[in-house]
Amino acid sequence: MKRWDQRPFEIRNLFNPGFCGLVLFRALHGYEEEDARGMSFSLSLLVLPLCLHKESREVIASNPRSYLLKTTEKNQQIMVGFADRVTQMLPYVFEGFGLLMERGCIVIANDGRIQTKPKKVRKTVSGTDETVSCQKVARIVGREFARIADRVTVYTTFGIRP
C-alpha cells in the first residue's frame, strides 16, 4: 500500500480510512440490531465492496425490505467482479478497522466477533447524498448478514469460496 501522500487524490477521497471506518461501523451496528454478539471478521470484509460500489449499493437500497439473498438472486449483475472488488478493497478495510480500533469505537469479543462500542459514533447519518447512501446501505447489509446467520451462505451467494 502506498503512503497516504503518494496516493492519487481520488483514492484519498473515496477510500479515506475515516469514511471506510464509518461505513464499517454502520454495518457492524446494523448487524448488532439482529445479533448482539457482533459480526464475524470474515463477513465484515464484504461490507465495503457492497456499499461503495454504486451499482450494488443502488440495488440494495432499492430493495431495503427484501431479503439480501433474494435481491442478489434477482440482480445477478452485482456479483460480476465481486470477488476481485473484495480483494482490491482489503487494504482499505484494514485501514478503516485500524482507525476504529485506535479510536476505541470497536472491540473484539473473545470469540473473535467485532462489536461496536456505544456512544463513540454519532447515530445521525449525515453528509452528501452519496455518503448517506453508503451508510444506509451498510446498515441494511449488516442487518441482512445477521439474518442470514451463516457466513458460508453469504460467501457462496456472492460467488466467493469461504
pTM of the full structure: 0.92
DSSP-derived letter for residue 39 is B
Give the per-residue pLDDT at 14.
78
Q: Which three cell numbers, joined as nine digits, stand for 91?
A: 487494504
pLDDT of residue 5: 78
Torsion of CA 3, 23, 36, 67, to 10 degrees: -130
Do 11 and 52 contact (CB within 8 A), yes or no?
no
Return the axis-axis angle of helices 17-34 and 129-148, rounded to nearest 10°: 40
In a domain, 98, yes or no: yes
Is residue 44 situated within a structural domain? Answer: yes
Average pLDDT value over all residues in the chain: 91
Q: Residue 162: inside a domain, yes or no?
A: no
Number of domains making up the chain: 1
pLDDT of residue 123: 85
Distance CA 68, CA 60 (A): 7
What was the pLDDT predicted at 59?
94
Containing domain of residue 11, as a range?
4-157
Any domain includes 34? yes
Whether 31 is covered by a domain: the verdict is: yes
Which pLDDT score is estimated for 161? 76
Looking at residue 134, its pLDDT comes to: 94
Q: Is 117 a member of any domain?
A: yes
Mean pLDDT per 10-residue section of the chain, whose length is 162 residues: 77 86 96 96 96 94 86 90 94 95 95 93 86 94 95 91 70
pLDDT of residue 10: 78
